[in-house]
Amino acid sequence: MLKVKKKQDNPLFWLFLILMLVVTLFPVYWIVATSLKNPLEVVLPNPTLVPKAPTLQNYVQVLQSGFLKNMGNSLIVSIGATVLSLSLSFAAAYALSRFKFPLAFNAFFMVWILLVKILPPVVLAIPLYTMFNSMHLINNLLGLILVYQVYTLPYCTWMLYGFLKALPKTFEEAAEIDGASKGVTLWSIVAPMTRTGLVATSIFSIIASWDEFLFGLLFIRTPALRTLPLVIVDYIGEYETLWGNLMSIGLITALPVLIFSNFVYKYYTKGFAMGDK
């Protein structure tokens, strides 16, 4: 009987994996290595793969520049925008997945959400600025949380609609027979059963809010209220780019999202498995 050779036993398979691993991780290594170089070594004509004299000078300079205050602003805005988006989109997605509206409103609304999502943000920038300025929400973190709903709310509604559509109605019907109100059913039954979908959706919402630049640039004027993307561009000048500081602040900025994503990874994978059913 012929023995079937597994692909794991093939040296070419492992060579391919190692090559892909190097290609994937090398940019990360280069960021770390550059952040540990002094300014003179960064601009050498022949770049060095390993820092000759590793230093934490770039990290110290970044932290002394008030970076932690700006990171706090990003955390407040990202978490606030995500909580608001999940609250509103959960109710909207539930209504669209459970109730039949006249004149094919369900399908029309979902298409409208998708169109809003794919619109270039600059198209909405001027009307939003005018509206928020009249409400005195310019240069305000609350205003930034609200304007970020342009990014997060359509996406969260679209994702949660798929998760809720796949959820059986039997548990809700049983709760209603027992006399539970719609609010109790949503909070005690539907929300816990879709927590994996909520977590998976929250990751994308936090990343979208964390990385947003255009609205932050337009709506925030005070340096103390700036978010991280607005601070990062300060290290890119017309005549000089502070590569060491730029790499260090970029690495620190990515860490919170990476830690959060790793912490909720199991819910993330379960959420997409549920959405595919």
List pLDDT tens digits, range 222-264.
Answer: 988 999 999 988 888 777 888 889 999 989 888 888 887 777 6
Label residue 275 by pLDDT band (50, 70, 90): very low
Q: Which residues of 137-170 are buried (b: 16+ CB within 10 A; e: fewer)?
A: bbebbebbbbbbbbbbbbbbbbbbbbbbeebeee
Domains of the chain, by residue range, sit at 7-55, 66-275
Grouping H, G, I as helix, E, B as strand and the rest as coil, residue 76 is helix
Read off the tokens for 105: 């409103």
pLDDT(70) > 60: yes
pLDDT(276) > 50: no
pLDDT(8) > 70: no
Q: What is the pLDDT of residue 145?
A: 94
Of the candidates 64, 86, 96, the residue with the CA atom closest to the CA atom of residue 155? 86
Q: Among 19-28, 45-54, 110-119, whose mean pLDDT is lowest? A: 110-119
Label residue 11 by pLDDT band (50, 70, 90): confident
Which pTM does this prediction carry? Answer: 0.81
Q: What is the pLDDT of residue 139?
A: 92
Pick the CATH number of 66-275 from 2.160.10.10, 3.30.420.40, 1.10.3720.10, 1.10.287.10: 1.10.3720.10
Label residue 143 by pLDDT band (50, 70, 90): very high
Average pLDDT over residues 111-133: 83
What distance in Å separates the CA atoms of residue 119 and residue 126, rounded to the nearest whole number? 14
Q: What is the pLDDT of residue 4?
A: 47
CB neighbourhood size of 193 (10 A) = 16
What distance in Å separates the CA atoms of residue 6 and residue 89, rounded to the nearest whole number? 46
Of the candidates 222, 251, 209, 238, the residue with the CA atom closest to the CA atom of residue 140? 222
Instruction: Render 175-243 in DSSP notation, one character per residue.
Output: HHHTT--HHHHIIIIIHHHTHHHHHHHHHHHHHHHHH--HHHHHH--SGGG--HHHHHGGGB-SS-B-H
pLDDT digits (tens, 9 = 90+) for 72-103: 999 999 999 999 999 998 988 888 888 777 76
Q: Residue 197 carries which side chain, given as an amino acid letter?
A: G
First to last CA, the chain: 39
Query: Percent of the chain beyond pLDDT 70?
Result: 91
The residue with greater pLDDT, 152 or 115, is: 152
Q: What is the pLDDT of residue 141?
A: 93
The mean pLDDT value of the chain amounts to 83
Query: Percent of the chain beyond pLDDT 90?
Result: 25
Q: What is the pLDDT of residue 255?
A: 86
Q: Residue 117 carries which side chain, given as an amino acid letter?
A: K
